[in-house]
Chain A
Amino acid sequence: DAGVIQSPRHEVTEMGQEVTLRCKPISGHNSLFWYRQTMMRGLELLIYFNNNVPIDDSGMPEDRFSAKMPNASFSTLKIQPSEPRDSAVYFCASETSGRALETQYFGPGTRLLVL
């Protein structure tokens, strides 16, 4: 199994540009999570999907952020417009049940730098 796949692994963009991060969860997993990690704020849960439906998006910082899961094998996190404070490592994670973290597998992350 290839594990959770994220792309791109690194992204450098300029302020105001649109950024799209992609995630392919492990086949058969029915829950998907997006996290953001920074030195200042640590690891934050942004949004959680179960069976492709957003269950909790209370962690999404503002309207510039949006996430979709059109099918069980693909999710996107979009930032439009991007700002320097969005610079962080973004992780996607998937699991087999609705219980967060019990069997959760993280991807390698996308390191985003907004200039």
Chain B
Amino acid sequence: QQQVKQSPQSLIVQKGGISIINCAYENTAFDYFPWYQQFPGKGPALLIAIRPDVSEKKEGRFTISFNKSAKQFSLHIMDSQPGDSATYFCAPLSGGSYIPTFGRGTSLIVHP
């Protein structure tokens, strides 16, 4: 049973555009919602994360939007740059289990 559904599977945007990646989850016990960024040949690295007490968090060009009632959270990349080309994973988890549930990943390509 898939607990986390990430979409789209791949995304191509032009430089300067907005990239939006979505993550839908089923487990209402999740209480921490991170996004990870992975470049080819590297391990994933924490990009930005949000807790359910806020609906939005912004760090530079990256924003997480959280919709608790819809059980969804999304990553927005403003002014997308070729250097943002990577695979992005959502990986929500709950404090009780400490085990993250990774989405399948979204491959983002930003054309110059």
Contact = CB atoms under 8 A, between A and B. Distances in A.
Interface residues of B, number: 21
Contacts of A98: 98
Given A43-B89, A43-B102, A99 B43 contact: no
Contact of A100 (B42, B43, B44, B98): B98
Contacts of A56: 98-99
**Secondary structure of the B contact surface, majority rule:** loop
Contact of A101 (B42, B43, B91, B104): B91
Contacts of B60: none
B46 A99 contact: no
Interface residues of A, number: 22
Interface in B4-53: 32, 34, 36, 41-46, 49
A109 B43 contact: yes
Q: List the 4 closest pairs (A to B, CB-CB), nearest first.
A: A106-B43, A100-B98, A43-B102, A42-B104
Interface of B: 32, 34, 36, 41-46, 49, 89, 91, 93, 95, 98-100, 102-105
Given A42-B104, A91-B43, A109-B43, 14 more contacts: A4-B43, A42-B103, A43-B102, A45-B102, A48-B99, A56-B98, A91-B44, A100-B100, A101-B36, A101-B100, A102-B32, A102-B49, A106-B45, A109-B42
